[in-house]
């Protein structure tokens, strides 16, 4: 599948600022809602990405491309900036209440229209296993120096079920995709392609958000006594996009849009699994654990096949 270049322009990177510099914690993307004659813009990511940063007392920064020069900018989100979660606490979605970004430098921000979301009422094609999918997200080992460069990973829909699956916050609705998520991918948008019923042309829709993966524990003891841990079955959990629509339809968002708050921040057309937050250095280390760290990681898992957030360097999670 060839990936339209404009889809990458709706993705941003989330960071925290440590005493050693900026450290990536995940991916986000931008959604526009057109109502009341205005365009309202929102940032979407995973709930666990935001909650971990808040729990550790870090401010969150958006890393975006400058629009005036060849460079990037880190934009601090004010403490009063609100993240809204789904009414169901098991749903791993966080949406910004509004983008009131204080910033002196112009940045290039594009967004996909809310009409791109695959919802229960808007399905382009029957959701069947084998449908091609791809997600766009942060590669922690290379983000780009003068520009954000998200990576694209392709695969296929592996499981569609009416039954809830065990996720980051317990039982919830998920799709499974054969498309391996990795550190930094939490919050990445996952797209599907389908043929238009009108003209047969291929069109894109946003199916969900990368949330986590199912681990398969294998260990290899190295000569120096350390343990290298591999934790991936190749199947990733995707929070359905209809949960984003449900959050956007909450009264707090509707009231904001009626009042005209947060309008006109991003373009109205598209041109659109988190890292563990380090306490000190933001560099990406090899996935090598001491024996103590390995045993501690295992104690965090409530059962052998419990899925893990798409975070990095936290036990068995990405």
Convert the pLDDT of each residue in 59-74 to its tens digit: 999 999 998 999 999 9
Nearest residue to 214 (alpha-carbon basis) of 86, 303, 277, 88 = 303
In angstroms, the CA 278 to CA 312 distance is 10
Question: Using 50, 70 and 90 to split pLDDT, how confident is the model at 259?
Answer: confident
- Work out the average pLDDT over 202-215: 86
The C-alpha R_g of the chain, in whole angstroms, comes to 19
In angstroms, the CA 314 to CA 318 distance is 7
Q: In Å, what is the CA distance from 149 to each residue of 26, 59, 91, 132? A: 13, 23, 28, 22
Question: Using 50, 70 and 90 to split pLDDT, how confident is the model at 32?
Answer: very high
Nearest residue to 282 (alpha-carbon basis) of 252, 255, 312, 237 = 312
In angstroms, the CA 317 to CA 47 distance is 15
To the nearest 10°, report the CA torsion of 264, 250, 255, 44. Answer: -20
- Read off the pTM: 0.79
- For residues 35 and 155, is the Cβ–Cβ distance under 8 A? no
- Work out the average pLDDT over 166-183: 90
Phi first, then psi: what are they for 299, rounded to 5°? -70, -15
Compute the Cα dihedral for 120, 123, 126, 131 and give only its sign.
Answer: negative
**pLDDT score of 209:** 97
**pLDDT score of 310:** 65
Query: Above 70 in pLDDT, residue 204?
Result: yes
**pLDDT score of 72:** 93
Considering only 66-75, 130-139, 256-265, 284-293, which range has the smallest mean pLDDT? 284-293
Burial of 233-242, coded b for 16+ CB within 10 Å and e otherwise, reads eebbbbbbbb
Phi first, then psi: what are they for 37, rounded to 5°? 75, 15
Q: What angle do CA 232, 295, 237 make, to 5 degrees?
A: 25
Query: Above 50 in pLDDT, residue 278?
Result: no
CB-facing half-sphere around the CA of 8: CA atoms within 13 A: 15
In angstroms, the CA 298 to CA 231 distance is 11
**pLDDT score of 303:** 34
Considering only 79-88, 98-107, 137-146, 255-264, which range has the smallest mean pLDDT? 98-107
């Amino acid at each position: 599948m060839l990936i339209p270049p404009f889809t990458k322009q709706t993705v941003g990177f989330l960071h925290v600022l440590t005493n050693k510099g900026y450290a990536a914690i995940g991916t986000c993307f931008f959604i526009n809602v057109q109502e009341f004659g205005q365009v309202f813009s929102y940032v979407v990511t995973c709930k666990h990405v935001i909650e971990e940063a808040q729990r550790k007392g870090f401010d969150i920064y958006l890393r975006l491309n400058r629009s005036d020069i060849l460079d990037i900018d880190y934009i601090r989100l004010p403490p009063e900036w609100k993240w809204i979660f789904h009414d169901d606490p098991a749903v791993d979605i966080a949406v910004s209440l509004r983008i009131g970004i204080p910033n002196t430098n112009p940045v290039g921000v594009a967004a996909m229209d809310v009409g791109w979301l695959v919802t229960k009422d808007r399905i382009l094609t029957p959701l069947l296993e084998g449908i091609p999918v791809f997600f766009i997200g942060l590669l922690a080992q290379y983000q780009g120096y003068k520009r954000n460069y998200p990576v694209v990973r392709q695969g296929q829909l592996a499981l569609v079920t009416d039954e809830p699956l065990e996720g980051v916050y317990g039982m919830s609705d998920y799709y499974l995709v054969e498309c391996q998520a990795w550190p930094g991918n939490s919050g990445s948008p996952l797209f599907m392609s389908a043929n238009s019923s009108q003209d047969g042309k291929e069109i894109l829709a946003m199916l969900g958000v990368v949330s986590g993966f199912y681990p398969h524990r294998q260990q290899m003891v190295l000569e120096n006594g350390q343990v290298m841990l591999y934790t991936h079955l190749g199947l990733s959990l995707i929070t359905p996009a209809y949960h984003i629509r449900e959050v956007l339809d909450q009264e707090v968002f509707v009231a904001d849009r009626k009042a005209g708050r947060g309008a006109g921040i991003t373009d109205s057309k598209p041109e659109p699994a988190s890292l563990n937050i380090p306490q000190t250095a933001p560099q990406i280390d090899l996935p090598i654990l001491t024996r103590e760290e390995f045993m501690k990681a295992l104690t965090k898992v409530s059962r052998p096949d419990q899925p893990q957030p798409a975070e990095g360097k936290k036990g068995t999670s990405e």
